[in-house]
C-alpha cells in the first residue's frame, strides 16, 4: 500500500521536526478513534524525547474517551505480550534501532501483533481527514500506571524453555543492552536463569552515549573485546527497543543474524512445521527446512508481514536476518529476550559451544551495504530493471537479482531514507563482488 506516514515498523521521524507534539497528539487521537476501545496500554524506550511524544499521544487518546495504561520503559515485545494477555491495543513510543535523534509511534493490535497495512491506512485516513472521535468533558479518558508488565513478560519466557537445565548449566553471559529498553528486563531474566552476568550499557540513556543502537559489529566493539578474554560462554546484544537480539560466540566472533536465525530454527522446528521469513533471508534457512522436511514461506520484508503470515499458516518459527526472531508458541512478534532464552536453552541442552553449533549451519556469506536515496524508488527501480534485464529477477519486495554464484536484493528502507543492498553467496569474495557492483551502480545514480 502507498502509505504516507507508516513505514516498515510504525511512524518514525525527528521530534519537533517530523514528530511534533501536535502531530503526535493527532496520531494518538487517530489510533484511539480507530480501535474505539475502553483502554489502551502504552510504553516507551529510553530516548530523551520519549516523554514529549508519550504525553502528546496520551493527551490525544484521552480526548477520545479512552483510558491509558502506562507500563513504563519496556521492550516492545513486553508491551506486546501485555496487550496479548489483556486483549487490549497498545502504543509503543520507540524508533527501535534508529539513531537517538529519532523517535516513533507504533500501534499494537489487541492480540499483541503490530497492526497490518490495511489498519495503518485507515488510521492515516483518520489523521488526514481529522475524523477524530470526540467526547464531552465528563467522558474524557483517564491515565494510570501498571507495574506488572515486567514480571508478566519475564515469567512467560521462562515457561517456554527448559529453565532448570539452564540454571544447572550456570552459563557465563556478557550482555550489552545498549542503554535501551531492555536495560532491566534482560539482565533480570538472565539472573533468574542462574547465569553469571557481566552487563555493559545496562543503564537507561536516551542519547545512546555508549554505542549506536543498532547491534552491528562496528557498534559492539566493547562486547566483542570482552568476549575475546575467553571467560564467557556467549555474548548478547539488543537494539533500542529489544525486539532484536544478536550474539557473539565464546571466542569473540560476531554471529550474523541470518546464522542465529538458521541455528535456532534448526533446533526448534520438526517435520511438517512451517517457517516464515522475508526475501532478504539467507538461503541457509531454505537448506535447513529442506533437511528437516519443513515448509518455508517467503514474504516481503517487515516483521509485521512475517508475523501475519505465521498466523495465517500456523507457523512455529519466523524471523529476519537482522536478529529478529519470532517464536509462535510465545507470541507473534520479534522478541529479543525470547530469542536470547532460546539460544541459552540450545547451549544448555546440546552441551556444545556456540561456535560448534554454528559449524552445523550451511555456510553462506552475506554482505550488507546501503546508499542514500535521492530519487523516488519507482524511478530507481525502472533504471535497475532496464540495466540488468538479462538477469533473472524477483519483485516480491524491491528487486532480487540472481547472479552467477549468488544473488543481490535491492530495496528501499522502510525506516530511513536509504536503499539497502544485500548480497549472498557461498563465497565471501563473490558476495563482496556482487555487492560492490550494485553499490557502485546505485551510488553513481
Each of the 445 residues of the chain gets a pLDDT tens digit; together they read 688 999 878 999 999 999 999 999 999 999 999 999 999 999 999 999 999 999 999 999 999 999 999 999 999 999 999 999 999 999 999 999 999 999 999 999 999 999 999 999 999 999 999 999 999 999 999 999 999 999 999 999 999 999 999 999 999 999 999 999 999 999 999 999 999 999 999 999 999 999 999 999 999 999 999 999 999 999 999 999 999 999 999 999 999 999 999 999 999 999 999 999 999 999 999 999 999 999 999 999 988 899 999 999 999 999 998 899 999 999 999 999 999 999 999 999 999 999 999 999 999 999 999 999 988 999 999 999 999 999 999 999 999 999 999 999 999 987 788 999 999 999 999 999 999 999 999 999 8
Distance between CA 444 and CA 371 in Å, rounded? 10
Q: What pLDDT is attached to residue 1?
A: 66
| Closest CA relative to residue 76, chosen from 212, 267, 220, 213 | 213
Cα-Cα-Cα-Cα dihedral sign, residues 199, 201, 202, 203? positive
Q: Which residues on neighbouring strands pair with residue 278, listed in sequence order?
A: 299
Q: Please count the other Cβ atoms lying within 10 Å of the Cβ belonging to residue 42.
A: 24
Using the structure block, give the residue that is written with the C-alpha cell 550474539. 247
Enter the pTM of the model.
0.92
| 198: enclosing H helix or E strand | strand 196-200
Angle, helices 257-268/283-292, rounded to nearest 10 degrees: 10
Q: How far, in Å, are 41, 183, 191 from residue 166 at the CA level?
A: 33, 21, 11
Sheet containing strand 399-403, strands side by side:
365-372, 418-425, 406-412, 399-403, 393-394
Contact predicate 254/217, CB 8 Å: yes
Cβ–Cβ under 8 Å, residues 171 and 347:
yes
What is the chain's length?
A: 445
Count Cβ atoms below 10 Å from residue 316 Cβ, excluding itself: 19
Which of 273, 314, 310, 311 shows the shortest CA–CA distance to 290? Answer: 273
Residue 346 is inside which H or E element, if any?
A: helix 336-350
pLDDT score, position 445: 86
For the chain, give the longest Cα–Cα distance. Answer: 68
Among residues 59, 96, 182, 260, which one is catalytic?
Answer: 96
| Region for 35 from its dihedrals, namely left if φ exceeds 0, alpha if ψ lies in -120 to 50, beta otherwise | alpha
Catalytic site includes residue 96 = yes
The reported pLDDT for the residue numbered 302 is: 87
Could you please report the per-residue DSSP string of 144-187?
Answer: EE---HHHHHHHHHHTTTTHHHHHHHT-EEEEE-TTSTTTTHHH
* 83-122 pLDDT per residue, tens: 999 999 999 999 999 999 999 999 999 999 999 999 999 9
Q: Are 303 and 114 in contact (CB under 8 A)?
A: yes
What is the structure's pLDDT at 7?
86
Q: Which residues share a beta bridge with 418? A: 372
Please, is 433 exposed, middle or buried when counting C-beta atoms within 10 Å of its C-beta (0-12, 13-18, 19+)?
A: middle
CB 224 within 8 A of CB 252: yes
Give the residues across from 422 on adjacent strands: 368, 409
CA distance 168 to 195: 9
Rg of the Cα trace of the chain? 21
C-alpha cell at 298: 517467503
Q: Which three-class secondary structure state does DSSP give residue 104?
A: strand
Q: Which domains does the chain have, with CATH numbers?
A: 11-147 (3.40.120.10), 152-358 (3.40.120.10), 365-444 (3.30.310.50)
Q: Which among 161, 73, 131, 173 has a CA at the least distance from the CA of 349?
A: 161
Amino acid at each position: 500500500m502507498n502509505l504516507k506516514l507508516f513505514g516498515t515498523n510504525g511512524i518514525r521521524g525527528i521530534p519537533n521536526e517530523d514528530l511534533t507534539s501536535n502531530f503526535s497528539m493527532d496520531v494518538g487521537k487517530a489510533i484511539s478513534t480507530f480501535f474505539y476501545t475502553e483502554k489502551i496500554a502504552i510504553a516507551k524506550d529510553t530516548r530523551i524525547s520519549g516523554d514529549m511524544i508519550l504525553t502528546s499521544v496520551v493527551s490525544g487518546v484521552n480526548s477520545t474517551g479512552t483510558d491509558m495504561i502506562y507500563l513504563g520503559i519496556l521492550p516492545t515485545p513486553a508491551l506486546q505480550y501485555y496487550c496479548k494477555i489483556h486483549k487490549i491495543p497498545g502504543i509503543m513510543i520507540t524508533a527501535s534501532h534508529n539513531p537517538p535523534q529519532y523517535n516513533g509511534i507504533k500501534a499494537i493490535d489487541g492480540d499483541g501483533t503490530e497492526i497490518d497495512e490495511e489498519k495503518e491506512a485507515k488510521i492515516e485516513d483518520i489523521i488526514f481527514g481529522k475524523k477524530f472521535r470526540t467526547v464531552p468533558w465528563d467522558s474524557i479518558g483517564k491515565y494510570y500506571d501498571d507495574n506488572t508488565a515486567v514480571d508478566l513478560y519475564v515469567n512467560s519466557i521462562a515457561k517456554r524453555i527448559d529453565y532448570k537445565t539452564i540454571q544447572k548449566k550456570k552459563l557465563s553471559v556478557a550482555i550489552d543492552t545498549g542503554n535501551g529498553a531492555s536495560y532491566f528486563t534482560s539482565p533480570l531474566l538472565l539472573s533468574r536463569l542462574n547465569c553469571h552476568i557481566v552487563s555493559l550499557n545496562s543503564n537507561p540513556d536516551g542519547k545512546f552515549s555508549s554505542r549506536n543502537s543498532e547491534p552491528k559489529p562496528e557498534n559492539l566493539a566493547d562486547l566483542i573485546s570482552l568476549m575475546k578474554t575467553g571467560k564467557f560462554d556467549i555474548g548478547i546484544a539488543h537494539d533500542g527497543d529489544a525486539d532484536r537480539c544478536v550474539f557473539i560466540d565464546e571466542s569473540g566472533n560476531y554471529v550474523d543474524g541470518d546464522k542465529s536465525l538458521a541455528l535456532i530454527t534448526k533446533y526448534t522446528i520438526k517435520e511438517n512445521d512451517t517457517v516464515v521469513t522475508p526475501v532478504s533471508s539467507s538461503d541457509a534457512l531454505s537448506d535447513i527446512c529442506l533437511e528437516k522436511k519443513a515448509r518455508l514461506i517467503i514474504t516481503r520484508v517487515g516483521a509485521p508481514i512475517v508475523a501475519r503470515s505465521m498466523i495465517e499458516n500456523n507457523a512455529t518459527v519466523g524471523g529476519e536476518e537482522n536478529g529478529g526472531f519470532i517464536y509462535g508458541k510465545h507470541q507473534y512478534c520479534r522478541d529479543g529476550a525470547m530469542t536470547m532464552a532460546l539460544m541459552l536453552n540450545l547451549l544448555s541442552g546440546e552441551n556444545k559451544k556456540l561456535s560448534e553449533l554454528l559449524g552445523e549451519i550451511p555456510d553462506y556469506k552475506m554482505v550488507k551495504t546501503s546508499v542514500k536515496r535521492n530519487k523516488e524508488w519507482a524511478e530507481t527501480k525502472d533504471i535497475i530493471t532496464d540495466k540488468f534485464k538479462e538477469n533473472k529477477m524477483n519483485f516480491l519486495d524491491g528487486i532480487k537479482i540472481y547472479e552467477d554464484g549468488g544473488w543481490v536484493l535491492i530495496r528501499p528502507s522502510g525506516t530511513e531514507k536509504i536503499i539497502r543492498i544485500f548480497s549472498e553467496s557461498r563465497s565471501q569474495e563473490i558476495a563482496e563482488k556482487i555487492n560492490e557492483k550494485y553499490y557502485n551502480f546505485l551510488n553513481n545514480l
